[in-house]
Amino acid sequence: MSAGGPAGEPILEMGELTARDVEALDRERTVVFITISPIEEHGPHLPLATDIIEAGGVARALARRLAGERPGWRFLFYPALPVGADCFIYPGSIEVRPRVVAALVHDIGLSFARSGFKKMLISSHHGGLRHNVALEAAARRIARKTGARVASLAGWLALDLYFRGGVAEYCRRAGDSDEAGKCLAVDCHAGAFETSEMLVLEPGLVRGGWETLPPVLVPLLRLRLSSARDEAAGLGYFGAPALASAARGREYLDFIVERVLPDVRRILDGEPVERRLPWKMRAAIGLARLHLAYQAWRG
């Protein structure tokens, strides 16, 4: 944040503000970002905080793009939450129950709404199904109780990239070969995409050796929480890290922002957002929602 406080830059870190700074924000033109992702293994070359770093990086890139489109708007970042469900079972992964994830985000969002904030975006870079269902559930509950416009971006993004042609579109734009495209189609965890993003966001945290890691190609719907140990050499990554580069990271971050931006604009403007999902994903999400409801019932 600039030394000028809220009167300066449009992107604000909440932990650096005073209560008076927050009170002075225009509620109609302030967007709250809640960033949340787990501490989780990311292969032998990426740090445990990879998902948190990426969630923050994508959210800030989105905020910068929105700030250029909406002069006078502010983008308020709540401190990142190192919490998540459905982590790969592996040393370093920290698992939190989905209902705890939902309750945490719900309570934080409710506090913002009680202070008059009407627009919130939940940013996560973790692909766990129940994790994302929990975030969606929290967003819906906040919106239902307060009338605020609230959306969780991660679940939409994962479905868009891997089940609605997003990765294929990226490969076409990037000029990737057919062989590379086959690798990238299942590149979902500590592979080329995440390694590339980290080479842009926190290159000093990327360990050497990623350039020679062989591809681990597992169909996405076959992955289980135990797969990090059970598949291939048990190194905890899925995809092709050797295809990574900082240039790919910059291209991919821009591509992600482009994919979510139309829906985000509609959310901030109070317009409806509709999505059509493949039936297998609708069934999986339905089961995850039932599990979340069962957890809440059990207490």
The one-digit pLDDT tens for each residue of the chain (299 residues) are: 444 455 578 999 999 999 999 999 999 999 999 999 999 999 999 999 999 999 999 999 999 999 999 999 999 999 999 999 999 999 999 999 999 999 999 999 999 999 999 999 999 999 998 999 999 999 999 999 999 999 998 877 887 888 888 999 999 999 999 999 999 999 999 999 999 999 999 999 999 999 999 999 999 989 999 999 999 999 999 999 999 999 999 999 999 999 999 999 999 999 887 655 554 455 555 555 565 555 555 55
Q: Are 253 and 170 in contact (CB under 8 A)?
A: no
CATH for the stretch 5-298: 3.40.50.10310
Q: Are 191 and 237 in contact (CB under 8 A)?
A: yes
Tokens of 231: 């598949």
Q: Give per-residue burial for 235-258: e unless 16+ CB within 10 Å, then b.
A: bbbbbbbbbbeeebbebbbebbbe
Q: What are phi and psi of 191, to 5 degrees?
A: -95, -145
Distance between CA atoms of residues 226 and 12, nearest Å: 39
Q: Are 165 and 214 in contact (CB under 8 A)?
A: no
- What is the H or E stretch that residue 31 is in? strand 30-36
For 209, counting Cβ atoms within 10 Å of its Cβ (0-12 exposed, 13-18 middle, 19+ buried), the class is: exposed
Residue 19: what residue type?
A
Q: Spell out the domain ranges in the chain.
A: 5-298
Q: What are phi and psi of 182, to 5 degrees?
A: -65, -40
